[in-house]
Amino acid sequence: MQNKTITELAQGLRSGEFSSVELTSAFLGRIRQYSSLNAYITITEELALQQAKTADARLATGNAELLTGIPMAQKDIFCTEGVKTTCGSKMLDNFIAPYNATVVDKFNSAGAVMLGKLNMDEFAMGSSNETSYYGAVKNPWDVNTVPGGSSGGSAAAVAARLAVCATGTDTGGSIRQPAALCGITGLKPTYGRVSRYGMIAYASSLDQGGPMTRSAEDAAIMLQTMAGFDPKDSTSVDVPVPDYKSGLANSLEGLSIGLPKEFFGEGLNSDVAATLEAAINEYRKLGAKVTEISMPSLKLAIPAYYVIAPAECSANLSRFDGVRFGYRCENPADLTDLYTRSRGEAFGKEVKRRILMGTYALSAGYYDAYYIKAQKIRRLISEDFKKALSEVDVIMGPVTPSTAFGLGEKMDNPIEMYLSDIYTIAINLAGVPAMSVPAGFAKGLPVGLQIIGNYFAEAKLLNIAHQYQQVTDWHTYIPSHFE
Amino acid sequence: MNSQWETVIGLEIHAQLATKSKIFSGASTAYGAEPNTQACAVDLGLPGVLPVLNEEAVRMAVIFGMAIEAHIAPYSVFARKNYFYPDLPKGYQISQMELPIVGIGHLDIDVDGVTKRIGITRAHLEEDAGKSLHENFHGLTGIDLNRAGTPLLEIVSEPEMSSAKEAVAYMRKMHELVRYLGICDGNMQEGSFRCDANVSVRPKGQKEFGTRAEIKNINSFKFVEKAINHEVERQIELIESGGKVVQETRLYDSVKDETRSMRSKEEANDYRYFPDPDLLPVLIDEDFKAKIKARLPELPQAKKQRFKEDYALDEENATLLTSSRALADYFEIVVKESESPAKMCANWVTGDLLAALNKAGLEITDSPVSDQRLAGLLKRISDDTISGKMAKQVFEDLWQGTSTADEIIAAKGLKQITDTGAIESIIDKIIADNMDQVEQYRSGKDKVFGFFVGQVMKEMQGKANPGEVNKMLKDKLK
Amino acid sequence: MSLTADDVKKIAHLARLGIEQQHIVSYTKDLSGMLELMTQMSNVDINNIEPMAHPMDQTQRLRADVVTEQDYREKFQAIAPQVEAGLYLVPKVIE
């Protein structure tokens, strides 16, 4: 049952093969059984069973949606009313959100069942899930390696079948990188496609929520529910949401794929490169034309990102001050003590590093040298994408330079950790959509293929990923011990 | 004041915009609610919330810009001003820095009969902070965030005022303008209109500015004058005794009549402004401006000019009547509805009516005598139904009750007698009864004429038209 | 470009971020490393490039001036560290 796709489960729920309560109970059982993965921060068992019951009743009326009764889970960055929402931080360990994120409201009205809240890097800052206050998540393919981050709990839960699907958020690769390292499908939509209201902000001009699923078809179903204009989010874009499923079967004959030479140079693990080469060959077989392209500004993405994202985060995280919600230090001596100790005691090291970096980049005398310069480079990068995507339909490349690295391996070297985001970060700076699709294995660990499209071309990306998944079976592999 | 020194003053005025909801949220801006009952998730800066800009706040800023003949930025940007303070929930204030919505404009002030043009550097939109309450929470401070997110227009003047008097004139003029435009209620006690003053002194003739001190949150016209004068004295004394003015923020203490330093130098602020990524650039196109232009009320200066020309009013009356939009509107309705000479209407409004309002401590908008009811009274003066003297009596009754002038005139039988036959017979009788006085008058004692008028009026219980009585008496006594 | 421990202390104060004395050194090293990364940006010709603050070339949507929010004080203050008489309490603010 846990290996079925959303479409298959929806059929089973309608044919009476199983009820949502049964399905939900099965997943709750697996979550308990595999709790050592540490994928969940909060399990909402009671709520899930109640939602499943409601879903069963709705299914009986025949007035259900595809996601009605499907057990899924939310990254703990989305506010869920009445349910603890921690963002992976000690700062919010006591934070019961008093309202729902728009995305959560949308899943609720679709009748989806929320199993719980998924572990993540603290405030979505990290690429390994090791910065979580609740401890690292383990990669189900090898529990000694990281699942990636920041949506590491989401990726591990979906890969280990602890949820049918999950939400993630992606600021510099946080959906795609863990999806790649855990062998699942992840989509970061166009900036503004999915509402950010109620999604706790890391870097507001880069953050975007998206689906993390086992297949492209499941991702299409999830995105259908998540996407859409939200008047509560000024950066939400008022563009009609297409039917993501209807184009999945389109032929790829004549599709033009660009491979940026900057993506395949030094630094890319040779096993990963070989796996990707094989995947791209599959596309050739499907009728695609592959050309090499150049995007010279890509190499500047990491420095630009590590100015812009910390700058935005330094302000976004100022609201965590121990006054209205969240952690407050014991017996503050005065106001400054209240601020510095509450924040000092409750934020982890990586969050502090980025707040410091951002504060510095915005401070008097450095603003032009860092922040303005980074924003100019952001435009160069964005123009690289616009130019490339006027020449080819999609861009393909790696998601990560290597497969999952060992737990603890990069924790003491933040710069090395940052460099592992080299293939994903530029996409957020430009705001275009991109996917990670399971493309095979290197030494037993999953490898992801990245597919990058033009603004609002999510349907195209899903079609391209789905066609690949019709001729390959990498996305159906199950990590051993989690069958 | 010491004549070797020259004072330089610039004002930053914060006007709360009279919108129904907040600048970035749908919470009410109404004043005086229970603490924190009008602070919604966005105002509290809860994790995950996002701002959406209030259209009316933008319109009001543009209206203001047009009124001061300023450049309206086609493209303006909101920025985050970062600092920690408990009444600032997000740890940053959403404001505008590099690209404000209103650019360079000006405002003309009149001081001692001389008009001076004061440059306005800019006006920008921002959110207000909450309030800290210091009383009695076991040594703690209480925070009320109802005010957080109320839209503010910060209006920054050029440092072009050279005395406290000019600063007060500027502030009054600005106060009048924003109320005229209907963009701010101007209630200074509730903090709807407040002012910071940048004050410096320099030796006469020196070009460079002296070091300035910023006096924060001055909430009355009286205090602006006192605070500036005090600060100027303090700076001059300091310099003359060999000291140096430091750039700092000072707070005016109205009880002690002094300013004192608010923040130590060590706390020098670095606000780290940067464009707010949650908000997009605000685009103001010609269409948006054209719609606002159509809504733009006549401005005080233009209205005063028109009053002088159309109604032939003198400077004093025109100034007084255009000092608020409500008063000007009241006056114009009275003129129109009473079909009476404007001069008479002006005298009644600025005379009897304003005197009564002042005495009762009321604003024109709360006047017990509506424009229509006053017009009804003045109509009866101009058509000679009653005399001006009788009208004063009727006005008393209008003030006290709800009847119309006509109802009062009828009820009291105040109708003036204009029937010349009736007047003539009474005059004849009085002449016949007072032949001695007739002789005196005819022999050149003009003063006696008053006696006859008095007698006739007495006989007619004041209801005779005095003009008619005068004319007829003169004829008869010839 | 590298930072000193004093720089880090200053930045930490600006961000009201308590950092224990023994960790100042490692933050100094990490931040200096990040700044080293930034030097890659210095050789790029960016003179005529407009800074880009948002990925989408869009302008701000305006909200109608309507009161849509109700009073949720009780709900919001249930998660607050310290409240009394409807007010959030903080250590005395000195002015």
Residues 6+ apart with CB under 8 A from B410: none
The whole-number pLDDT of residue B265 equals 44
Under 8 Å between Cβ of B284 and B100: no
Beta-carbon separation of C63 and A231 below 8 A: yes
Contact list in C for residue B58 (CB cut-off 8 A) is 62
C16: chain A residues, CB-CB within 8 Å: 318, 321, 336, 339-340, 343
Q: Are B19 and A172 in contact (CB under 8 A)?
A: no
Domain boundary assignment for chain B: 5-288, 298-412, 420-477
Is the separation of the CB atoms in B170 and B107 below 8 Å?
yes
User: Which of A75, A117, A138, A245 is an active site residue?
Assistant: A75
Q: What is the ipTM of this complex?
A: 0.97
- DSSP 8-state secondary structure symbol assigned to residue A198: T
The number of distinct structural domains making up chain C is 1
Q: With an 8 Å Cβ cutoff, are A314 and B82 in contact?
A: yes
Please answer yes or no on whether C38 and A306 come within 8 Å at the CB atom: yes
Residue of C nearest to A433 (CA): C55
Residue C31: domain span: 5-41
CA–CA separation, A200 and A99 (whole Å): 12
Q: Is A373 a catalytic residue?
A: no
pLDDT of residue B26: 98
Q: At A461, which helix (H) or strand (E)?
A: helix A458-471
Q: Is A234 on the interface with B (CB under 8 A)?
A: yes
Compute the distance between CA of residue B86 and CA of residue B91 in angstroms, rounded to an integer: 8
How would you classify the pairing of strands B213-218 and B5-16?
Answer: unpaired
Facing C60 at nearest CB: one of B133, B272, B282: B282
Q: B433-446, pLDDT tens digit by residue?
A: 888 888 888 888 88
**Subunits adjacent to chain B (3 or more Cβ pairs under 8 Å):** A, C
Are C43 and C51 in contact by the 8 Å Cβ rule? The answer is no
What is the least distance, in Å, from the CA of A99 to any CA of chain B? 8
d(CA B68, CA C44): 43
CATH of the domain at A465: 3.90.1300.10
Nearest partner of B154 among B85, B217, B246, judged by Cα: B217
Q: Rounded to a whole number, what is the distance in Å from the CA of C5 to chain A's nearest CA?
A: 12
Mutate to test the interface with B, among A319, A360, A366 (most CBs of B within 10 A): A319
Task: Give the 3-state secondary structure of residue A366.
Answer: coil
Query: What's CA A155's distance to the chain center, in Å?
Result: 8
Residues of C in contact with A322 (CB under 8 A): 81
A101 and B48 within 8 Å at the Cβ level: the answer is: yes
User: What Cα–Cα distance (Å) separates residue B72 from each residue in B62, B274, C86?
Assistant: 7, 21, 41
CA distance A342 to A329: 5
Helix B325-338 vs helix B371-382: angle between axes, to the nearest 10 degrees?
40
Provide the residue range defining the domain that includes A40: 1-483
Starting at the earlier edge strand, list the strands of the sheet with C83-84: B131-137, B140-144, C87-91, C83-84
Q: Of the listed A19, A150, A297, A436, which one is catalytic?
A: A150
Whether C95 shows a pLDDT value over 60: the answer reads no
Question: How many cross-chain Cβ pairs, A to B, lie less than 8 Å apart?
Answer: 100
Which CATH number describes the domain made up of B420-477?
Answer: 1.10.10.410
- Contact criterion met (CB below 8 Å) for A209 and A228: no
Select from A198, A318, A321 the Cβ nearest to the Cβ of B82: A318
> Is cis: bond before A318, omega within 30 of 0?
no
pLDDT tens for residues A293-304?
A: 999 999 999 999
CA–CA dist B57, C65 (Å, integer): 8
Mean pLDDT of B316-343: 92
According to DSSP, residue A149 is labeled S
Name the residue facing C65 among B19, B46, B143 (closest C-beta).
B19
| E-assigned strand segments in chain C | 62-63, 83-84, 87-91
With a cut of 90, say whether residue B50 has pLDDT above it. yes
**Which residues of chain A from 247 to 266 reach within 8 Å of chain C, CB to CB?**
none
Q: Does A425 touch chain C (CB under 8 A)?
A: no
Distance from CA of A275 to the nearest CA of B (A): 38
> Shortest CB distance from A325 goes to which of B46, B86, B274?
B46
Question: Quick one: closest CA in A to C23, which residue?
Answer: A349
Q: How would you classify residue A325: left for phi > 0, otherwise alpha for psi between -120 and 50, otherwise beta?
A: beta
DSSP B410-435: HHHT-PPB--HHHHHHHHHHHHHHTH
Contact A377 C18 (CB under 8 A): no
Nearest to B126 by CA among B262, B239, B16, B285: B16
- B404 by Cβ neighbours in 10 Å (0-12 / 13-18 / 19+) ranks as middle
Which of A198, A312, A359 is nearest residue B48 as measured by Cβ atoms? A198
What are the average pLDDT values for consecutive 10-residue runs of chain A, which has 483 residues? 95 97 98 98 98 98 96 98 98 98 98 98 97 98 97 98 98 98 98 98 98 98 98 97 97 98 93 97 98 96 97 98 98 96 98 98 94 97 97 98 96 90 97 98 97 98 98 97 89
pLDDT of residue B417: 67
**Distance between CA atoms of A114 and A100, rounded to whole angstroms?**
13
Residues 6+ apart with CB under 8 A from A389: A395, A432, A452, A453, A454
Distance between CA atoms of residues B396 and B401, nearest Å: 9
Q: In the predicted model, what is the mean pLDDT of residues B118-145?
A: 92
* List of long-range contacts for B119-122, beta carbons under 8 Å, 24+ apart: B119/B157, B119/B158, B119/B160, B120/B68, B120/B70, B120/B155, B120/B156, B120/B157, B120/B158, B121/B156, B121/B157, B121/B158, B122/B156
How many Cα neighbours within 13 Å face the side chain of B270? 17
Measured CA to CA, the distance from residue B160 to residue B121 in angstroms comes to 11
Q: Report the chain A residue with the minimal C-alpha distance to residue C54.
A: A205
Q: Which chains touch C (3 or more CB pairs under 8 A)?
A: A, B
**CA pair distance A89, A348, nearest whole angstrom:** 8
DSSP E strand stretches across B257-297: 258-261, 274-275, 282-283
> Do the chains contact at C27 and A237, CB–CB below 8 Å?
no
Question: Of these residues, A20, A89, A154, A174, which one is catalytic?
Answer: A174
* Distance from C-alpha of C74 to C-alpha of A353, rounded to nearest angstrom: 35
Contact C38, A415 (CB under 8 A): no
Surface of A (280-339) touching C: CB under 8 A:
299-300, 302-304, 306-307, 314, 318, 321-326, 328, 332-339
Please report, for chain C, how many H helices and E strands are present, in that order.
3, 3
Helix B448-459 with B420-433: angle, nearest 10 deg = 120
User: How many angstroms away from the CA of A103 is the closest CA of chain C?
Assistant: 20
Beta strand segments in A183-239, E:
185-188, 209-213
Check CB contact under 8 Å for B26 and C60.
no
Is residue C74 assigned to a domain? no
On average, the pLDDT of chain B sits at: 91
Spatial contact of A187 and A430, defined as CB atoms under 8 Å apart: no
Q: Is the pLDDT of residue B467 over 80?
A: no
Report residue B257's pLDDT band, with 50, 70 and 90 as the boundaries: confident
Given this model, what pLDDT does residue C1 score? 65
Please indicate whether residue A234 is annotated as part of the active site: no
Q: What is the arithmetic mean of pLDDT over B171-175?
A: 95
Angle at A291 between CA A285 and CA A295, to 5 degrees: 140
What percent of chain A is predicted at pLDDT more than 90?
98
In-domain check, residue C20: yes
pLDDT of residue B418: 65
Which residues are bridge partners to A451 per DSSP? A396, A435
Q: Cβ B82–A79 below 8 Å, yes or no?
A: no
Q: Which of residues 70-109 of A touch C (CB under 8 A)?
A: 94-96, 98
Give me the number of domains chain A comprises. Answer: 1
> Tokens representing B428?
């004849």
- Read off the tokens for B44: 């509290």
Note the pLDDT of residue B266. 45
CB of B351 less than 8 A from some CB of A: no
pLDDT tens, position by position, A353-363: 999 999 999 99
DSSP labels for A177-197?
HHHHHHT-EEEEPPTTSB--T
Verify whether residue A410 is a known catalytic residue: no
Token pair recorded at residue B48: 């995950």
Mean pLDDT of B184-206: 94
Beta-strand relationship, A185-188 and A434-442: antiparallel
Q: Does A95 touch chain B (CB under 8 A)?
A: yes
- Mean per-residue pLDDT for B365-382? 92
Closest by CA to A218, choosing from A482, A478, A462, A473, is A462
What distance in Å separates the CA atoms of residue B73 and residue B66, rounded to the nearest whole number? 11
**Which of A343, A414, A429 is the closest to C17 by Cβ?**
A343
Apex B85 CA angle, C31 and B32, nearest 5? 155
To test the contact with chain C by mutation, choose from A99, A328, A376 the residue with the greatest count of C C-beta atoms within 10 A, namely A376
Which residues of B288-380 form beta strands (DSSP E)? Answer: none
Contact (CB, 8 A) for C16 and B84: yes
